[in-house]
Amino acid sequence: MENNIYRNENGQWVAPLPFRESRPILGDNRHMAGRRANLLDLNLKKNPKKCEHAVAFMKRIFDAGHAELAPPLKYKEEFWYLPIFSVYHSKKPDQIRMVFDSSAQYDGLSLNNVLLTGPDLTNSLLGVLLRFRLEKIGIMADIQQMFHCFQVREDHRNYLRFLWYADNGPKEQLVEYRMRVHIFGNIPSPAVAIYGLRRTANNAEQEFGSDVKKFVERNFYVDDGLISLPSADEVVSLMKRTQQALLQEGGLRLHKIVSNSNEVMKCFPTEDLAKNLMSLDLSKDCLPSQRTLGISWDLPSDSFTFNLSSDEKPYTRRGVLSYGYQEEWELWRQQLHHLKDLKIPRCYFDVSTKDLTEKTVHVFTDASKQVIAAVAFLRAKDKNANYHHGFILGKGKVAPKSAVTIPRLELCASVLGVEISRIIREQLDIAPKDFQFHTDSKVVLGYIYNKTRRFYTYVSNRVEQIHRFSAANQWSYVPSQHNPADQGTKPILPEAMTKSLWLHGPTFWTFDTLSEKNHESEANLPEYQLIDSDKDNEIRPLITVKNTNVEQSLIGTNRFAKYSKWNSLVAGVARLKHIARHWSKGNSSCRGWHYCDQAKDVELYRETEKVIIQNVQQETFQEEIRSIQENRAIDKKVPSVN
C-alpha cells in the first residue's frame, strides 16, 4: 500500500485493486450481470417508491463523479461486471443502498475471489466505545461516503463495470457504466480506506497536531469517529482541526456531528450536524436519541438506552424453534418494555478522569450450572479522598459442557474475568497490576494461590491462563450477596436492572474503603488454602518418594582365610555366584544347590576376581571411600603400625 497509493493532481487519494498473484483470469460475465440487471429493473418498476429511492441514490453517485460511462473494451482486455441489488436500512425505512455485488460468481469465480483482503486495520469496536466513555463531553461524527473518497486507478476501473439506466432514467435502456472509486462490496475496500484515512492524518500531524492523528488512528471505527474530552473547548478544537486536516489533505468530509453538549454543537454549521439535528433549536428543543455503532445514545441524559422492535412474532413452528416454549416466551416478551426505562451512563464517572488518582479495575466472577459471568468496574479516588466507580462492561456465557462441577464452572468464570480484563487493559491502557479480581469460590482461590500441589489438565490449564495475566495476590474472596457477577448467572427482571449490582457495583462501595462491610482489605489479602485437597478429584494425589541408600553388602574377607591359594578362592566364589544366578530359573539343570562345569567360565572368573578385590578395598578403606562419596577431604594421617 505504501508504494501504490498516491494523491492525484486534485489532491484525491488513488489506489489500485490489490489482485492476488498467480490468479485465474476472470471470465466474460456480462450475460449474467445483464440477467441480474433485468430482474432488478422488473422489481423497481413494480415498486415506484423503491424505484424513486434507487434513482435518488444513483443520482448522488453520478453527481459526485463516482461513476462514469464505460468506454469500449480493448481487444483481449480483462473486465468484470458487477450486478446490483438494493437494501433498505432496518432503522431508516426511507434510506436505500444500492449494493455492488462483488461476491457474485460466474464460472466459479467472483471479483472478490481474485482480490486480496489487505491488512485488518479496523479498530476494536468495543475498544472505541470503551474510550468514548472516559470523559464528560462526548462527540461523534462520520466521514461522508468514505469508501468513495478513494479513487480506483484508471487501468483497474473496467473490473468495476455495471449496467444501469441511461442518464439515470428508469424509462431509458440499460447501458454500461463503471465505478471510478472503491466500492462497499469489495473485500479490500475497508483496508484501502482506513489506510488512506490514517495516512491523511499522519500527513496532517505537523500542521494540525498530534492529537488529530491519535484521534483518527485510535478512535475511528471505519468511518465513525467517537471521542470524549473533559471540556467543550477541547472537543470543539479537536473536531474542527480534524475536519480541516481531512478535507485539506485527503478530500474527506467529516460531518453528521452529534454531542451531548449544546455548547459544542452550536460551534458547527447546521450542515455539519446530524440530519435529525439540523432543524432543531439547540437552545430549547429536546434532543433526539442518536444511534452510534449499533447502540442508542440518549443525549439529554447522556446515557445508552435500548430501542426495542415492536414487531410481533407469531407462535409458529419456526417461532417455537427460534424462541422456545410459548409460555416462557410470552412471559419474557412481556417484560421487554421495561428495558426502555433502563439507562446506562455513558461516562464512567461524574468527574473528569484527570482529577482522579489510584485508578483500579475490579473484576467480579461467578457461575451457576447454566451460565458463567464476569463484570468489571473502574474505581478511582479524587483529591478529596472520595471514591468514584463506574460500570465498564460485563459478559455472560452459556456454561461449557466440559465443566461438569461447580468448582470447574467457577474456574471458567474466573478465566472469563481474565479475558475481559485483557480487553480493558489493551483498550484503556491500564496496567495489569491495577486489576483486582473477586470470586465467591474459595475452592478457586485455593487453586490460584496453590504452590505445593499439582492439578489434572483441565484445572491446570485454566489456572495457568489466570497466572499469565494476574498474580495470586490480586485475587480475593467476596461474599455472594455482595458479588455483582451473581446477577449475571440467574434470572433478573428488566425493571430490577436499573438498581442492580451488575450495573452499580457492590453495596460496600458506598463506603470509603474495600476493607469495610464484610470485605477484605486490598492491602492485607490472606493466603487462600486448598479446600479438601485429599477429596478434590482435580488435585493429583501426593506421591511420597523415599530416598533409600543401600550399602553394598560385603562377602566378608575373613572367610577368605579358609582358602590357601588364590585360584581356589576365585573358584569357590565363582561357584557361589553361578548358583545365585541360576537359583530359581525354571527347569534349568543348574537350579538350586549343585556343582557343574559351567561355574568354571573364564568371564565369570574375571568378574569374581574384581568382586574379591572390591570387597577387600571396601573393608580396608572404608573411611576414605565414605569421604569421597560425601565430598569430604580424606584424612591423610598414617596409621600406627603395631
Average pLDDT over residues 107-129: 94
**pLDDT tens digits, 236-284:** 999 999 999 999 988 999 999 999 999 999 999 999 998 888 877 777 7
- pLDDT of residue 642 exceeding 50, the answer is no
According to DSSP, the β-strands at 137-143 and 254-259 are: antiparallel
Q: For residue 327, is it within any domain?
A: no
514 and 567 assigned to the same domain: no
Phi, psi of 315 (to 5 degrees): -85, 80
Cα(605)–Cα(599) distance, integer angstroms? 8
Average pLDDT over residues 76-82: 95
Percent over 90 (pLDDT), the chain: 57
Q: For residue 344, is it within any domain?
A: no
Q: For residue 635, is it within any domain?
A: no
368 and 222 assigned to the same domain: no
Per-residue confidence (pLDDT) for residue 315, from 0 to 100:
60
- pLDDT of residue 313 exceeding 80, the answer is no
440 and 589 assigned to the same domain: no
Per-residue confidence (pLDDT) for residue 201, from 0 to 100:
94
Per-residue confidence (pLDDT) for residue 511, from 0 to 100:
46
474 and 591 assigned to the same domain: no
Regarding predicted confidence, which is higher, 385 or 92? Answer: 385
Confidence of residue 318 (pLDDT cuts 50, 70, 90): low
Tell me how far CA of residue 495 lies from CA of 338, 339, 512, 639, in angstroms: 6, 7, 29, 98
Phi, psi of 233 (to 5 degrees): -60, -40
Closest by CA position to 104, among listed 221, 217, 26 = 26
Average pLDDT over residues 298-315: 77
586 and 509 assigned to the same domain: no
Tell me how far CA of residue 512 lies from CA of 263, 316, 355, 377, in angstroms: 35, 55, 17, 16
Confidence of residue 524 (pLDDT cuts 50, 70, 90): low
583 and 517 assigned to the same domain: no
Q: For residue 414, is it within any domain?
A: yes
Domain end marker among 229, 248, 267: 248
610 and 507 assigned to the same domain: no
Q: For residue 192, is it within any domain?
A: yes
511 and 562 assigned to the same domain: no
Regarding predicted confidence, which is higher, 1 or 178? Answer: 178
DSSP 8-state symbol, 254: E
Burial code (b: 16+ CB inside 10 Å, e: under 16) for 381-419 equals beeeeebbbbbbbbbbeebeeebeeebbbbbbbbbbbbe
Regarding predicted confidence, which is higher, 544 or 530? Answer: 530
Domain containing residue 89: CATH number: 3.10.10.10
Per-residue confidence (pLDDT) for residue 521, from 0 to 100:
44
**pLDDT tens digits, 472-511:** 999 999 999 999 999 999 888 888 888 899 999 998 775 4
Q: In the chain, how many domains are there?
A: 3
Average pLDDT over residues 397-423: 94
**pLDDT tens digits, 510-521:** 544 443 334 444
- pLDDT of residue 553 exceeding 80, the answer is no
Which H or E element spans position 468? helix 457-469
Domain end marker among 524, 549, 577: 524
24 and 132 assigned to the same domain: yes
74 and 180 assigned to the same domain: yes
Per-residue confidence (pLDDT) for residue 548, from 0 to 100:
54
Q: For residue 141, is it within any domain?
A: yes
Average pLDDT over residues 151-170: 96
- Domain assignment of residue 475, given as a range: 354-524
Q: Is residue 13 a contact partner of residue 151, using CB atoms and an 8 Å limit?
A: yes
Q: For residue 331, is it within any domain?
A: no
- pLDDT of residue 605 exceeding 50, the answer is yes
Cα(403)–Cα(370) distance, integer angstroms? 10
Confidence of residue 525 (pLDDT cuts 50, 70, 90): low
78 and 136 assigned to the same domain: yes
Domain containing residue 386: CATH number: 3.30.420
Neighbouring C-alpha atoms within 13 Å toward the C-beta of 492: 18
40 and 120 assigned to the same domain: yes
